[in-house]
A and B are shown apart, each in its own frame.
Chain A
Amino acid sequence: MAKITMREAISQALWEEMERDPKVFILGEEVGLWGGTYAVTKGFFDHFGAERVRDTPIAEAAIVGAAIGAALTGLRPVAELMTINFAFSAMDHIVNEAAKLHYMFAGQMVLPMVIRAVGGGGRQLGATHSQTPDAVFAHFPGLKVVAPGTPADAKGLLKAAIRSNDPVLFIEHATLYQTRGEVPDGELIVPIGKSKIQRLGRDVTLVTYSKMLEVSMKAAEQLAAEGIEVEIVDLRSLRPLDMDPVLESLKKTNRAVIVEEGWKSYGVGAEIASRIYEEAFDFVDAPIKRVAQAEVPLPYNRTLEQMALPNAADVVKAVKEVL
């Protein structure tokens, strides 16, 4: 078991899968010679060559569209979008093509492809480069959406995504790349569509994922110091969504807080809360609380930006409100 960063974990997953299967290749902006905007593919170009680590023009529709086409021929492309904000330029290809072709042509077309995209705020990149629009993408049947919160899950889920025969949007968080965590040695596959209990507790169920797992863990420590034990369920996949661990935990604690980085309106929290009310209403002892980003385009100014993003104090407050 080695303690490595999220960046190293993602890089390892890509490297191992490319070594294992010659059909796996990478395409995207600056993935090759540059080594990846976030240095995830550093060293790949020299090792795997220009055919398998393909620098593209700045043309997101072409990147995702070409990945779809290549996947249709049996290849396993991993398309990198420099940030998830740029995915909107490829929205048509993600939503109208990748998520639809298998169904619309009655199973004739198979798309074993991954779109890696970096999301999240907190780096003073302004409103257009700081979004967490995960819920938008999770809306569409036909697409799988994964967003890991630990290095081990990042590695295992990315390997599972690359081996999947369905299109997977793999969302990384820009401020998690330096986060370190234990990653088991050897082959590591984490199945898509399985939530995980990341912390055991008896008082309140915290449902979260990606960067907000880190925030929730921090809040949990503060709460523990006050004798409040929260249980943390990490969704890991937004679609398919695994509610079982959420419901099991809720039935134990009877209280839930959902922590997401994106906006509250029409968000992940809205979905989870509805599902809890629909599927375990009798077990809910207090109104479910949602912690989410302030409903503003994220500002550049550091103080304002931090005000808008959910933090551990927000989580602590919400937990106390449901108790």
Chain B
Amino acid sequence: MDKQTGLKLYHEMVLIRRTEEKAAELYQQGKIGGFLHLYIGQEAVSTGLISARLPQDRVITAYRDHGVAINCGLPAKEILAEMLGKVTGVSRGKGGSMHLADVSKNFWGGHAIVGAHLPLAAGLALGDLYQKQDGVTICMFGDGATNIGYFHEALNLSKVWNLPVLWVCENNQYGMGTAVDRASAVSQIRQKAEGYGMTNSRVDGMNLVAVREAAQKILSEIRNGSGPQLLEITTYRYRGHSMGDPERYRKPEEIHLWQEQDPIGIFRRHLLDNGLAVEAELNAEDDAVEEEIREAVIFAESSPEPQAEELFRDIYVEA
């Protein structure tokens, strides 16, 4: 990794965290409605993963999508505007927090029905295979999604058709409040790929460098015809499943234990230890993020609400 990449990825991780912290604030102020699922603690997963993709690689994820959106290049201001339901949001205020997307950046959403986007990912990959394009579809989902039928239908289909798709399970230890061991017959999610004869691996999701290197290797293999693979990335969300989670299912000590391996701290140390950055440079990135967030909030708050005609727009392409 070169210095420029290191600083860029550090910036992205800090940007995700600050965006999420700001979103939590705005939610508590009643400015964001509906559900809000924060990515805090999991930043290294999507930052490392998405940093390994090529522009032609499609990304699709579940409802915990703010971080992924930032990594895919969606501006924080448009993400916050979407959360505030403003017309300047990425989905013109009609999608909300769980439905961010920008197909021009090959980011295909933001899908809020657990597991339902996995068959879509198979279809995206089929589209590339059919049209002889060399993109790989990166499909992210939580550990909870691996217990629903869609996961199994999609993995099986991807293997039968040899689709260029990377299945990425973000195992953050809980599906809502239910621990993996209480919901899944196997505790290592990667084992589920074995049933489909699918190459699989597992990596520490608190370590951006490890995630990035694993993703680079696997994406290259898939691009060269290995067929689909599954990568389990172990991680942890510091915040509740969504805002308003009473968190009766875990103890504060457990959270603290994971916070000691904070992905941003680990990567910051990596950059310093390997001479890729000095403190002042990283502090400058922190400051730049602060400014970006400040401007993003002003943008989102001052943006107009959608006009009434927006209500009936885009139901169909052909009315």
Chain A contacts to B: CB under 8 angstroms: 25, 51, 54, 56-57, 59, 61-62, 64-75, 77, 92-93, 96-97, 101-110, 141-142, 144, 164-166, 240
B16 at the interface (CB under 8 A from A): no
B1 at the interface (CB under 8 A from A): no
Bound form: Cα–Cα A81–B316 in Å: 23
Q: Within residues 175 to 195 of chain B, which ones have a CB less than 8 A from any CB in chain A?
A: none
* Closest 3 A/B residue pairs (Cβ): A69-B123, A65-B119, A73-B127
**A97–B120 contact, CB under 8 A?**
yes
> Which one of B91, B125, B157 contacts A108 once the chains associate, using CB atoms below 8 Å?
B91
B156 contacts across to A, CB distance below 8 A: 57, 59, 62
Bound form: Cα–Cα A136–B150 in Å: 22
What secondary structure prevails in chain A residues at the interface with B?
mixed
B101 at the interface (CB under 8 A from A): yes
Bound form: Cα–Cα A71–B124 in Å: 8
A57 contacts across to B, CB distance below 8 A: 153, 156-157, 160
**B101–A64 contact, CB under 8 A?**
no
**A144–B316 contact, CB under 8 A?**
yes
**A65–B118 contact, CB under 8 A?**
yes
Minimum CB distance partner of A75 in chain B: B127
For B99, B108, B120, which residue has the most chain A Cβ atoms within 10 angstroms? B120
Per-residue CB contact flags for chain B residues 67-98 toward chain A (1 = under 8 Å, else 0) read 00000000000000000000000111011000
Q: Within residues 103 to 162 of chain B, which ones have a CB less than 8 A from any CB in chain A?
A: 103, 108-111, 113, 116-128, 130-131, 149-150, 153-154, 156-157, 160-161
Bound form: Cα–Cα A85–B161 in Å: 26
**B157–A96 contact, CB under 8 A?**
no
B217 at the interface (CB under 8 A from A): no
Bound form: Cα–Cα A36–B131 in Å: 25
**A105–B122 contact, CB under 8 A?**
no
Bound form: Cα–Cα A106–B96 in Å: 11
B119 contacts across to A, CB distance below 8 A: 61-62, 64-66, 68-69, 93
Bound form: Cα–Cα A144–B319 in Å: 10
B124 contacts across to A, CB distance below 8 A: 69-70, 72-73
Minimum CB distance partner of A90 in chain B: B119
Taking A65-B154, A104-B94 as given, write out 7 further A-B residue pairs in contact, using a Cβ cutoff of 8 Å, ordered by the A residue number. A59-B156, A69-B121, A70-B126, A93-B116, A108-B91, A108-B103, A166-B318
Minimum CB distance partner of A51 in chain B: B130
A142 contacts across to B, CB distance below 8 A: 315-316
A67 contacts across to B, CB distance below 8 A: 123
A165 to chain B, nearest CB (A): 4
B204 contacts across to A, CB distance below 8 A: none
B314 at the interface (CB under 8 A from A): yes
> Which one of B116, B153, B318 contacts A164 once the chains associate, using CB atoms below 8 Å?
B318
Bound form: Cα–Cα A69–B161 in Å: 14
Bound form: Cα–Cα A38–B197 in Å: 33
B292 at the interface (CB under 8 A from A): no
**A96–B127 contact, CB under 8 A?**
no
Minimum CB distance partner of A98 in chain B: B120
B113 contacts across to A, CB distance below 8 A: 92, 96-97
B127 contacts across to A, CB distance below 8 A: 69-70, 72-75
Bound form: Cα–Cα A54–B162 in Å: 13
**B126–A66 contact, CB under 8 A?**
yes
B227 to chain A, nearest CB (A): 16
Minimum CB distance partner of B165 in chain A: A69
Minimum CB distance partner of A112 in chain B: B317
> Which one of A56, A65, A68 contacts B150 once the chains associate, using CB atoms below 8 Å?
A65
**A65–B122 contact, CB under 8 A?**
yes
Minimum CB distance partner of A64 in chain B: B119
Bound form: Cα–Cα A194–B102 in Å: 34
**B122–A59 contact, CB under 8 A?**
no
